[in-house]
């Protein structure tokens, strides 16, 4: 519920959506199952508000290598791609590439929501998609139609 409220609140304020869910899932996986772990996490987030000026003083090359390693770890799930089915492969690769090259996760996901059903439709396999995916297709297509071209 906290993650849903934070995401909704961020969208209403016009900022990037927040994501405390990963921190929560990581804590649970590490054995933190009580409300105290949530209080510690909240305290650390609040502490970061005051320590941000110190954190921004750290140059990007100091943490760049760690981010590259995290990126490779995230890319490990690409092994599950079906390389024999181009209707699955091309949208997935385009999604990954657009996320990386546009520096925008939402833009890459929107591209995936457009390309996946489109590839299924063009290959005659549109029955493999759901109604919800077609709704996401239309919404994501509107992003590409109305998105200012200078911002990509």
The predicted-structure confidence for 111-149, as pLDDT tens digits, reads as follows 999 999 999 999 888 888 888 889 989 988 888 888 766
**Owning domain of residue 95:** 60-151
| Judgement on whether residues 67 and 9 belong to the same structural domain of the protein | no
| Judgement on whether residues 69 and 17 belong to the same structural domain of the protein | no
- Residue 107 contacts by C-beta under 8 Å, 6 or more apart in sequence? 98, 99, 143, 152
In the chain, the number of structural domains is 2
Full-prediction pTM beyond 0.75?
Answer: no
| Judgement on whether residues 114 and 145 belong to the same structural domain of the protein | yes
pLDDT at position 18, please?
Answer: 60
Q: Which residues of the chain have pLDDT under 70?
A: 1-4, 7, 11, 14-28, 148-152
pLDDT at position 22, please?
Answer: 59
Q: Are 44 and 26 in contact (CB under 8 A)?
A: no
pLDDT at position 20, please?
Answer: 56
């Amino acid at each position: 519920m906290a993650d849903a409220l934070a995401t909704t609140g961020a969208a209403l304020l016009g900022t990037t959506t927040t994501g405390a869910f990963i921190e929560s899932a990581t804590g649970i996986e590490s054995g933190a199952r009580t409300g105290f772990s949530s209080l510690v996490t909240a305290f650390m987030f609040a502490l970061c508000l005051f320590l941000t000026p110190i954190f921004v003083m750290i140059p990007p090359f100091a943490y760049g290598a760690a981010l590259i390693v995290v990126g490779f770890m995230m890319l490990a799930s690409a092994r599950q791609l079906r390389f024999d089915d181009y209707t699955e492969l091309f949208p997935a690769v385009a999604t990954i590439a657009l996320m990386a090259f546009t520096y925008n996760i939402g833009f890459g996901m929107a591209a995936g929501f457009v390309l996946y059903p489109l590839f299924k439709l063009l290959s005659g396999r549109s029955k493999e998609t759901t109604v919800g995916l077609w709704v996401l297709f239309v919404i994501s297509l509107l992003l590409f139609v109305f998105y200012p071209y200078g911002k990509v």
